[in-house]
Structure formats: structure tokens, C-alpha cells
Amino acid sequence: MRILFLPLLTLLLCASASAQLRADIQKDTPVGQATMRVYGGEQLLFQATTSGLNAVTESKFSPDGKWLLNIADGSGYVQLWDVEKGERVKTFLSQSSRIFGADFTPDGQRLLLDFSGSKGMADSRRPGYLPSPTLWNLATLERIAFVYNDKRESFYDGKVTFSTNGERMAFIRQSSHSYGPVSVWNAKTGAHIATISRLPYPQGAAQTGGAGSVDARLSPDGRRVLVQYVDSRLAEYDAGTGTRLKLRGEFSAADAGAALEQFAREGR
């Protein structure tokens, strides 16, 4: 019988200055299962064959190279692997098939997950069917907190920015028909810090209600946040209070992207 091999799912990530980590997942080997090989440079670190790997849609390594996430969006689970031991140490299960986001903090000590949690993860502050990020301690594999506030601003849909020092994180609540505000959170405790309001349109503009945000970056120290709006303007804010510090003006898409990345690296 001829076996059809699906394309390899490959992720290249620099784990340190001297080595690269790579996860190759070859699906339906054997049929109904998948084989994952994890490499450090050219060296095979470990190999695993399980049925759960067959549904993986994305893989991510932690910045320190200690952890590997296998995300099965469409099947409703996220696997956490210990790279050194070559073992799967935890599987996070969603009530729905969607995995909206899964990201490591810059120091590799915590994990941010965004999906509709299992019944065992219920939180009386929100309806159980709503997706809400949760923050996890990777050393203990225990949940630190739900990342949630009453305004439901915590749905980041896989688009999160962290300050370089790992103290704060920010994301934008977006939907298919609207762009929401930027919300800033404590990346260690999950506590809400501030919300960046919509940016009022210039006087005389045809639009009303203020421009929604499409992208944002925190400064390396997490004290300021630079926000890009739907009308191509950039504005800088105090990340602790949400107070606007500076309106930078209107930028092309390319220039706005470059300005955001420079701000994240250098804070200017």
C-alpha cells in the first residue's frame, strides 16, 4: 500500500547564539499518526511518534530553548514539551476547536494561552463559553491567573507584544468588523494595568467615534506603548496610566511597521 506523506511542518528558531532548534513533524507516519524530530543545529535531540502530533498546525520554542509548544488549532489543544527530556509534559484542552493564541513570555518562565477553557478552568467572572487568556507558570505547570477584566478587552487572538524586560504585555481586542483598544497587563501576575482609548479623529474628519487600533509595541522597559491606528496614525502613551504622551502623525504601512519595531527595540 502506498503511503502519502504530507509536507513537513518546520519551525526554525534561534535558541542561542550557537545553536538553532528545529521541529520537523511528518504527518501520517504511520497512517493516523505523526513523527516529530527535534534538532539542535544538525544534531537530533529527540524523536516522538504520537497520534496527537497529526493535528498540529504550528510549533513554537521558548526563547531559552527549554520548551516546545505544539498548537493544534482546529482540534482544540496545545501540547507542551520539555526539550531537554524529550517528553510531553502537559496538554491544554479547549472546549472548542479554536486555539486563538499561545505564546511564551520573553524570559521563558510563563505561558500565555488564549482559548475557551475546560470546565475545570471555570471562572465566575466571565461566561464559560468565552475565550479568555490564562497565564501559566512553566516551572510548576500551574495556572497563575485569568487575564480578564469586565470590559472583555483581553482577547488577543495570537497577537501580543511583550516588553523586553518581561514585566508587561499588551494586546488588541479585534473582531471581523471592528478594532478595539489596546490593553496593557502585568505579564507576571495577569493583572490589568491600563487601557488605551480610541484616538479621536482630526477636527473636520468625516469619521466619528475615534480610530481603532491595529497594532502596538511596548518599549523595552514596558513604561510606554506605541499604537498604530486604522487611519495610519501613530501615537505614544504612558503604559501605566493610558495617558497620551505624543501624537506622531500619519505614516505609510511600511514606515509604521519600522517605527513600531524600532520602538520595541530602542524605546524611541
List, for residues 171-187, the tens digit of each pLDDT value.
887 655 557 788 999 99
Inside any domain, residue 84: no
How many domains, the chain?
A: 1
Whether residue 245 is contained in a domain is answered as yes
156 pLDDT tier (thresholds 50, 70, 90): low
Mean pLDDT across 89-111: 90
Do residues 175 and 153 lie in contact, with contact meaning Cβ atoms separated by under 8 Å?
Answer: no
Mean pLDDT in residue range 192-204: 85
* Amino acid 116: pLDDT: 60
Residue 17's contacts (CB-CB under 8 Å, 6 or more residues apart) are none
233 contacts 247 by C-beta, under 8 angstroms = yes
pLDDT band at residue 188 using 50, 70 and 90 as cut-offs: very high
What's the rounded mean pLDDT across residues 134-163?
Answer: 82
Give the span between the Cα atoms of 256 and 249, in whole angstroms: 10
163 belongs to a structural domain = yes
Q: Are 169 and 161 in contact (CB under 8 A)?
A: yes
Reported as a pLDDT band with limits 50, 70 and 90, residue 14 is very low
Q: Lowest mean pLDDT: which of 124-128, 204-208, 262-266? A: 124-128
Domain that holds residue 237: 149-267
Structural domain contains residue 101: no
Q: What's the pTM value of the predicted model, to 2 decimals?
A: 0.81
Which grid cell is 196?
A: 488605551
For residue 53, how far is the Cα from the chain centroid?
21
Q: What mean pLDDT is predicted for residues 80-91? A: 95
Total residues belonging to the chain: 268
Residue 117 lies in a domain: no
Cell numbers standing for residue 5: 506523506
Residue 203 belongs to domain with CATH number: 2.130.10.10
pLDDT computed for residue 5 by the predictor: 33
Does the pLDDT value for residue 2 go beyond 90? no
